[in-house]
Amino acid sequence: MAETESLADWMANLNEKFTKIPLSQLAIPGSHDAMAYSLDMDSSVLEPKKIKALDKMFSTFLRPIVKKWGTAQEKNISEQLDAGMRYFDLRVAGKPESSDLFFYHGLYTTMTVKEGMTELEKWLGQHTKEVVILAFSHFKEMSADQHTDLTNFLKEHFKAKLCPKPQVPSLKDCWESGYQVILSYDNRSVDDPVLWPGIEYWWADHSDPKEVISYLNNQKQKGRPEGLFVAGLNLTFDGNDMLLYLTKSLKEKTMTAYPLLLDWVKEQHSGSDKESVNIIAGDFVGVNSFAQDIIQLNNADNSH
């Protein structure tokens, strides 16, 4: 696969046998905290708790730190799609002073949910054989009415592109029916044929890549879920870490850890057996061989 042309349409270019199996048996690159590239320094701090409590008094000092540690991506949604991402971790929050909904990671994003989804829908219109999994979760400061408004907007926005649950489709199924979006909405109060439940995310909650790998291997031993699931390669730092490493950033820590994490990726395989992987999500996607290494697992020998 040549680097450039291929990843924007990698699903369209897959070997035919991989287009006939459920998406839960493919290796799929994903974006953790996908919208955390447009964080707003003028917004209040939503997390972590320790820093949120201090934000009122020390906002000019703290917000740049939260931004440095909250910025988990640097490519925008179209660039992430071009780079091969097909799973998007989307965290949404209401803002007391606004009728719009925003994404967030530590701080609110400058981009509204509607703007982000409009950009994504436009991209899908230009890449009709690509299928994305949108995982809405970790909702904050949202009323029941706002949930209704958001799900109505998403249904109206993606219309016939939405794949109904519960059978995980193959690419071929999606192509035949014109489906391009699996919409997971992790909120019990909302039920609809096109809103899939939350997708299991293996999250190590650790800042050391060795610990992340050991956690993921441990999860694999227990066996994978049957449907779609995510193995998270993302490192996690808390408020203490942020204040401890004032001169560092999430990007610096993540990029240093990537070689080790990508070695782990290359040892994985897709498929349906107990130890197979499915979606693998990371931070700062599109800046190294992350997507290429994951997509490659679909061309490897799958007879494990």
Q: Active-site positions?
A: 32, 105
Whether residue 79 contacts residue 5, with contact meaning beta carbons closer than 8 Å, is answered with no
Task: Check the CA dihedral 31-32-33-38 and report its sign.
Answer: negative
Nearest to 158 by CA among 180, 190, 191, 136: 180
Dist CA 126 CA 215 (whole Å): 38
Task: Check the CA dihedral 202-39-73-133 and report its sign.
Answer: positive
198 half-sphere exposure, CB direction, 13 A CA radius: 11
Q: Phi first, then psi: what are they for 91, rounded to 5°?
A: -110, 130
By DSSP bridging, strand 229-232 and strand 279-282 are parallel
The DSSP letter of residue 296 is: H
Nearest to 209 by CA among 237, 229, 245: 237
The DSSP letter of residue 25 is: G
Opening angle at CA 75, ends 73 and 80, nearest 5:
100
Q: Where are the alpha helices (DSSP H) in 223-281?
A: 239-244, 250-266
Q: What percent of the residues of the chain are helix, what percent strand, and what percent coil, each to the nearest 5?
A: 40, 20, 40
Concatenated DSSP letters for 39-71? B-TTSPB-S-HHHHHHHHHHHHHHHHHHHHHH-
Which uninterrupted H or E stretch holds 132?
strand 132-140
